[in-house]
Structures are given as structure tokens and as C-alpha cells.
Structure 1
Amino acid sequence: MTTSTATQFIAFFGATGGCTNACLVHTLKAGFFATALARTPSKLTDMLLAQGLEKSIIDTQLTIVKGDIADLLAIKSVLTNNNTFESTAADSVQIASQIISGIGGTPQMRMSLSKPMTIDNPEICATTTKNIIQALQEIYSAHPSTTQHKPSIAVISTTGVSDVREDVPFGFRTFYHVGLAVPHRDKKEMERLVSENASSTGVFRGAVIVRPSLLKGDQSVKSGKGWQKLKVGKEDKPAVGFTVHRADVGQWICEQVVKTGGESYFGQKVTLTN
């Protein structure tokens, strides 16, 4: 599966997950080109076909790179549409215009009153972000002209991690602040890394941090209520609610970040809820 290296494209990490998969479906349906990292490419292809995408769209608009978030070479291939090492010429490499990252771990319960829930990889979000940053730094070093076209990044975080305003309903606060303390620590570190590297001297030209409330449903774009029905807030005035559908979060990211470039949300921590 290949796309034209002369065409702008959007890089996806975590595309076999709910919100990000839904965003990728809407992105491809809108006619954009994309790349995606997947440990099992056939799994991602099957998910997209199950979403109703035509195989011709997948074949012509999407490049799937086999690998995981620990594989820097695979990450660089996603960020450059497999073009990083095809030539040493500085102008031969095109970098993604946007990065969408929704990497997450699998929740696991444990016998602990203070921290009853963890995830299979408790640092997966921070590790992914660090590796994306390192990959971009290496691309910029090898191909200096790419620094003129730095990508923006949108990451999927969560409510319950704000140091500014409480954004979780009262009835959920113990669950969020005690039960989810371990995965939320990872989300906060991811947010810190993204924010620190979204500046004139950083690797990203801008960043949007998306904080959905408790996610429900799967990635099926037919099962959501629609992105326009979401309540949207920012960190100093969050939208507070109990749950939000994964498909709606993915569609919102496509409509408000992918299609527009996301500039109006750069530097913001956007809360989404039903």
C-alpha cells in the first residue's frame, strides 16, 4: 500500500484503537492521504473494511507500516511515508503535515486499595511520544530542509488530569483520581512532552491535546451520535460530563483538527463529552 510522496499526508499512531481508528476512517473518506503504524497490518485493513471503506480507498490513500512504538525506524517510515532513507538528498523527504496519536494500553486490575488499576504498559503514552520526538529529531538532523515543514500533533489524553480546573463529575472523582491514578500519570507525562515540544524550537509546529471524558462504545463510525452533538470545553472552562463515544471523538478530531489544520486549537487542552 503506497501513497504519492508528492502528496501531503497525515501520520496515525494507535489506528487500531477506537478513537483513532474512527478518525482515520473519516480522514480517508474525506479524501486525505495517510500513513499508519500497525503491529499487524492485516488487522488494521480488516477493521477499515469492516467500517465500510472500499478497498480501493485503502490501497490508494493509506500506507500501513508494520512495527510498534519501540521501533524508531518504523516510526520514521510512518512520519515520512517510507521515504526517509530512499535518498540522501535533503529535498527528497516529505514529512507528514499532521500527527494523530491515540496510543493506549490495556487496563488491568490488581490487588491494591490505593492503586487498584494499572495498564499492561504503564508508560506507553509517554514512551510513544518520546519516540516520535526522537524520530523527528533524527529526521531533521538527516534532512535539515524538513524543519521548514514541521508537523502538528494531536494526542488523545483524558479528563481527570488537569491541574487548573476539575473536569470530572463528582460521582466519578474517586474512580478517576484513585482508581485511574497509574494510567493518568502516563497521560500527564505525555501531555508535558507534547506541550514542551510544540514551539518554535520544538519538533512540532503546534499541538492539540484532546481530553475526552470516560470513553464508551467502539470505533464504529455508524454507532456514534455525531461530533456536532458533543460538548466542547477548554482547560480553564471544561465541558464536564460522564461519558463520550469513541466514534464521536474520532470524528471531532477529523472535522476540527485534520480538515482545518487545527491551528485554532493549538496550545489548547480540549475537553469533549456528551
Structure 2
Amino acid sequence: MAPMSTKPLVAFYGATGGCTLAATTNALNEGYDCTALARTPSKLTNLLLSKGVSQESIDNHLTITQGDVLKVEDVKGPLTLKGRPADIIVSGIGVVNGMDMFYEVKLCETAATNIIEALKQLKPSKKPVMVVVSTTGLTTTGPRDVPLLFKPMYDLLIANVAADKRRMEAALASEYNSPNSVIKGYVCVRPSLLTNGKVYGKDYIRVGTDAAPAVGYTISRDDVGLWLFENLIKGDNSKYLGEAPTITY
């Protein structure tokens, strides 16, 4: 790899998935040093090339660790680069099997807790900000953050998936509020229903909060990744720390 830049070092988990792949693509295209965990590194490389990332950018700015997010030892790999600790961790881990809606799933929760455990074991010299891709439809109190038409789907069809996301968010909040927290802060990004559809760009993305959520029907994975990059990697993420911003069109 080329000499490391002064830009934040970003560690990606779930980089072969839509939202995180888009965030990784934007980061590499702007010269950020990135690390990633992938079960099949060649799959990630090929996906990045298909998104228009140059081979030169991949060679100079990306280090891929082969492994599984369900194994703490594997998770450790992307958290440092030649002794340099990651400044920002982005996890877009999520279920992809449609049958998961019928069974209890713990993938997102396990990924988050494994990253936290890996940080505890590594004891990096600097605490990172941890960003996770969550979902709308998690709140049980306060304003509704999904359209009324979609509420039955969220309450019934993806209840187990939502429960996994809810536990993931709780794990981050618990770690951050612990006396010896290993994270500087966290952001739980809650996009509306994800699609692989048209990309509208950052000017079309609405952002809300728990108190005043942005309610919408859908948002493309590529636009979620763009928002992640522009606001939580490239931009000042401090205003979102400890928050769960909702994003939609």
C-alpha cells in the first residue's frame, strides 16, 4: 500500500453488502485508507471494480482480511493497519435470507458484540467511532418513523430482523455508557426500506431524529452508503454521536 494519509482510517464490516459497499466505494474514490473483513476477498474486489473503483485505488488504499464476522479473532484484522488503529468502524452486517423473518436471528447483534470484544482484546491507543446500519420501525415509544401503510409489514413480517437490530443498538449504547468503554461514540443509522433502485443523490435525502423522524417509504442502498460517507466519514460526525438518525427520500 501507499503511505498512509492523514484522513481517518475506516474499517468496514459487511463491505460486500449494498449500503456498506457504497460507503467503501466512496471512501476509496476519495483516497481514504480502508480495511475490510470479507469471507471471499476476491468477491469484494470484483464488486468494487464493478462500481468504478480503480485497481490502483484498491491496491493503494484497501487492505482486506479474509474471515468471518462471527469469529472474534477474524474481526480483529481490520481494526488496525500497520499498528494504526481504525478511527471509524462501519458495520452494515445484515440478514439477506428471506426465511430469516420467520426465525430468531442474532447476526447484527453478534457482529456488534464481536467488534466490541475484539476492541477490548486489542486495546487500541485511540477509541474509534462505531457506525452501524440499522432500520426504521424499531421505536416502541415516541413518533412513528415508518409510513402507516408499511407498519403491518414492519410489525409482522420483519419483526425478528427488527429485534436483532434493536439488540445491536442496545449493545452499542451499553458499551458506550460503560465505565471503560472502548468506543468514542456510536451512530445507529436508520434508513427506510432499502432498495436497489434509482440513486437520487445526497440533495434528495431527508434526515430526521428520534424526536422528529424523517418518515418515508424507501431509499436506495447506494444513497445510504453515500450519506454514510458524506456525513459520518468525510464530514463531522460529532453531531450524530449517540443518535439514531432516520434517512429517507
Taking structure 1 as the reference length, the TM-score comes to: 0.85
Which SS does the other structure have where 2:52 is aligned? coil
Which SS does the other structure have where 1:129 is aligned? helix
Q: Deviations over 1:97-127 (max 9, x none)?
A: 00000001123248xxxxxx247x8110000
1:64-213 pair list within 5 angstroms: 64-81=64-81, 83=82, 93-109=83-99, 117-118=101-102, 122-140=105-123, 146-147=124-125, 149-163=126-140, 164-199=142-177, 201-213=180-192
Distance in 2 between residues matched to 1:157 and 1:72, nearest whole Å: 21
Structure 1 residues 11 and 118: alpha-carbon distance in aligned structure 2, compared to 1, 3 A threshold: farther
Deviation at 1:5, TM superposition (A): 6.4
Distance in 2 between residues matched to 1:69 and 1:3, nearest whole Å: 27
Deviation at 1:197, TM superposition (A): 1.6
2:5·2:33 contact (CA, 8 Å) conserved in 1? no
Q: Deviations over 1:126-147 (max 9, x none)?
A: 000110010000011xxxxx34
Which SS does the other structure have where 1:65 is aligned? strand
Distance in 2 between residues matched to 1:248 and 1:118, nearest whole Å: 29
Structure 1 residues 24 and 118: alpha-carbon distance in aligned structure 2, compared to 1, 3 A threshold: farther
Taking structure 2 as the reference length, the TM-score comes to: 0.93
The answer for the alignment partner of 1:227 in structure 2 is 202
Which SS does the other structure have where 1:253 is aligned? helix
Which SS does the other structure have where 1:12 is aligned? strand
1:35·1:64 contact (CA, 8 Å) conserved in 2? yes
1:211-250 pair list within 5 angstroms: 211-217=190-196, 223-250=198-225
Which SS does the other structure have where 2:239 is aligned? helix
2:17·2:93 contact (CA, 8 Å) conserved in 1? yes
Which SS does the other structure have where 1:254 is aligned? helix
Which SS does the other structure have where 1:269 is aligned? coil
Which SS does the other structure have where 2:98 is aligned? strand
Distance in 2 between residues matched to 1:46 and 1:94, nearest whole Å: 26
1:20·1:250 contact (CA, 8 Å) conserved in 2? yes
Deviation at 1:4, TM superposition (A): 4.7
Unmatched 5+ stretches in structure 2: none
Distance in 1 between residues matched to 2:4 and 2:119, nearest whole Å: 17
Give the percent of matched residue pairs that are identical in Structure 1 and Structure 2.
Answer: 39
Deviation at 1:166, TM superposition (A): 1.2
Query: Based on CA coordinates, which of the two structures has the bigger radius of gyration?
Result: 1
The alignment of Structure 1 onto Structure 2 pairs a total of residues equal to 246
The answer for the alignment partner of 1:266 in structure 2 is 241
Deviation at 1:94, TM superposition (A): 1.9
Unmatched 5+ stretches in structure 1: 84-92, 111-116, 141-145
The alignment's C-alpha RMSD in Å is: 1.8
Deviation at 1:194, TM superposition (A): 1.0
Deviation at 1:9, TM superposition (A): 1.2
1:39·1:68 contact (CA, 8 Å) conserved in 2? yes
The answer for the alignment partner of 1:254 in structure 2 is 229
Deviation at 1:96, TM superposition (A): 0.1
Q: Which amino acid aligns with 1:18?
A: G
